[in-house]
Chain A
Amino acid sequence: MNPPAIEFLGVNKWFGATHVLREVSLRVAPSERIVICGPSGSGKSTLIRCVNGLEPYQGGTIRIAGRDLTPARIPAVRRDVGMVFQHFNLFAHLTVLENCTLAPIHARGTGRRAAEARAREELARLAIADLAPRYPGQLSGGQQQRVAIARALCLDPGVMLFDEPTSALDPEMVGEVLDTMTALARRGMTMLCVTHEMGFARRVADRVVFMDEGQIVEIAPPGAFFDHPEHPRTRDFLSRLL
């Protein structure tokens, strides 16, 4: 039996005096797709940033592929865990191709040729090969986010983290990004995805996690979660989402 891809064991975190993660425990199996939702400020971003060491935490344990996340392990974890941000965060001074080859070349030591070939392959798979020479400022939001996904995939990650990947997009561009993510899920990627796209959650998620005030309030398969929420806070949240 493989160890869980990600495991949170009683994780606690404070920003100053604010207790933003409270005894969070969650086990994500390999190839499992988890959607995390919850009201603004409930700690969703903070939780997934803890996975690749972008945020330190003060209590509990996080294990990636069965090994404790220690400071020494963080570089290795970051190479194996891809992350996609709400505001894309493409490197504005680099072309799309350079965005995709930067980490393979400088963090992995891949040769430039090989990195470029790999990047073009990934861009082609996401149907954005023709964007390679452009700068991020010349792309639409949806294109930028798909480039950001390609950039993360160029490192061949085993796990992908998404932090509200579609909430900064115009409605007509949400679909193209969600389709890309759905395709990724079909390839068996382990995904931890903060999103409020319920259609996506229903189609793709194995489980939906609801967070409020730094705590996990409810975990359920999408059908049960959306149709028969148990906790009153979940019900309250879902009723306001609809």
Chain B
Amino acid sequence: MSVVRETLLPPAPPPRRTGGALGWLRQNLFSGPGNTLTTLAILAALALLLPPVVRFLVTDAVWSGASGEACRPEVAGRPVGACWAFIGAKINYLVYGSYPAAERWRPNLFFALVAASAAWMLWLDAPRRGLGALFVFLAGPVLSYGLLSGSSVLGLVPVATSLWGGMLVTLVVSLVGIVAALPLGILLALGRRSDLPILRYACIGFIEFWRGVPLITVLFMANVMLPLFLPGDITVDRLVRPLVGIALFASAYMAEVVRGGLQAIPEGQGRAALALGLTRAQAMRLIVLPQALKVVVPGIVNTLIGLFKDTTLVSIVGIADFIRVLEAARADPRWSAPTIPATAYAFAALFYLAFCFSMARYAGFVERRLAAGERGRS
């Protein structure tokens, strides 16, 4: 029997979801015994964990006071959670370390510069991003160095790096790591795919060496060995040594991330570029690399987050980074109270969390945007 339709059906609206909020709960949280159990377990865990955290951070916290006395339960007459008064009193030290108070406008200007360049780079539709990149990767570091360390040429009082500290140092170390690791990693990844065997093996050797050595070892080596490699009369700044170590270490990881991106781009892209008369360098720069980097945005951000957290390790080679000044601050006898250590570490956790979470969110945003832009790409 054959079928021939006589009237074509008009499109109908989709069926309405039923049940409102309760229906949503049923559908999403309690659909089936397994899911219900999971939901309940997670809710129980939250009920167990959340109240003490909130009590410590907010409800029982002490917000003001001139010394550790204010944060002692016997003085306050109630249970005491976080002692935010301590952070408030020490905040300048935590941000600038021992940077001279009169010169703190320089780190402030530096923070502003960083914020502005970050905005320029991260806002994808910003005008002249190429120029911005040039600034961030070339002019920025030089300018920042001049600003922070000062020199008579600029009319700025020199400030020895041994006085830098706190968030300032953490930021400097991370930024140098990021700004060096990204271009260096790209070059290493390209070198690893080069046709020139000696270049290829040199890059592989470099990458595998840095990936194979723990960062702590790298930092110790940079501290004691870098001076050995250099002619006797050149001394390397104590802050620069771990910076070099971190930058090389991070670039090896970055190189592997970028290499993954390069491999994800179909060979036909490069071949089409060559067939159009572009040189191999142009094909790489204009066609393959931009696409490869887009693919690995999550991996790049992941590496950067790791790098940011790893910078805390510089404290073990005597750099007064955020963690180290926090340690020094909490040893202050004026501020001895039972919850001071916990407060200090909670503050550190919040600080790192805020930065890392923003990076992760930004990466998520970029990913979604790229996914939307290349919808239906075959």
Question: Interface on A for B, CB 8 Å cutoff?
Answer: 52, 54, 75, 78-79, 81-83, 85, 87, 89-93, 102-103, 106-108, 135-138, 141, 148, 151-152, 155
Contacts and interface: CB of A to CB of B under 8 A. Distances in A.
Contacts of B268: 85, 87, 89
Interface residues of B, number: 24
Given A85-B271, A91-B269, A137-B376, A152 B276 contact: yes
Contacts of A155: 276-277
Nearest to A152: B276
Top 5 A-B pairs ranked by shortest CB distance? A137-B377, A89-B272, A107-B277, A103-B276, A89-B268
Nearest to B276: A103
Contacts, number: 78
16 contacts: A54-B271, A54-B275, A75-B277, A82-B275, A83-B272, A85-B268, A89-B268, A91-B287, A92-B269, A93-B291, A102-B276, A102-B278, A107-B278, A135-B373, A152-B275, A155-B277
B269 A138 contact: no
B294 interface: yes
- Most chain B CB atoms below 10 A, which of A52, A87, A89, A103: A89
Contacts of A82: 275
Contacts of B290: 93
B374 interface: yes
Contacts of B277: 75, 78-79, 103, 107-108, 155
B282 interface: yes
A54 B274 contact: yes
B17 interface: no
Contacts of A148: 272
Contacts of A106: 278, 282, 286
Interface string B278-307: 110010001100110010000000000000
Interface string B335-378: 00000000000000000000000000000000000000111111
B273 interface: yes
A200 B378 CA distance: 27
Given A87-B268, A89-B268, A92-B269, A137 B276 contact: no
B202 to A, nearest CB: 25
Given A85-B268, A107-B277, A102 B286 contact: yes
Nearest to B294: A93
Given A107-B276, A138-B376, 4 more contacts: A85-B272, A91-B291, A102-B287, A135-B373
Nearest to B275: A83
Contacts of B377: 92, 136-137
B375 A137 contact: yes
A120 B273 CA distance: 20
B130 to A, nearest CB: 15
B316 to A, nearest CB: 43
Nearest to A87: B268
Interface in B242-292: 266, 268-269, 271-279, 282, 286-287, 290-291
B295 to A, nearest CB: 10
A70 to B, nearest CB: 16
A78 B269 contact: no
B287 to A, nearest CB: 5
Contacts of B282: 106-107
B275 A78 contact: yes
Contact of A92 (B273, B276, B278, B374): B374
A103 B274 CA distance: 9
Contacts of B266: 87, 89
Contacts of A138: 375-376
Nearest to B271: A54
A140 to B, nearest CB: 10
A137 B374 contact: yes
A52 B272 CA distance: 11
A122 B278 CA distance: 20
A106 B280 CA distance: 12
A53 B373 CA distance: 34
Nearest to A83: B275
A158 to B, nearest CB: 13
Nearest to A79: B277
Nearest to B370: A93
B279 A91 contact: no
Given A75-B279, A108-B277, A91 B376 contact: no
B374 A78 contact: no
B291 A78 contact: no
A87 B377 CA distance: 12
Contact of A78 (B274, B286, B375): B274
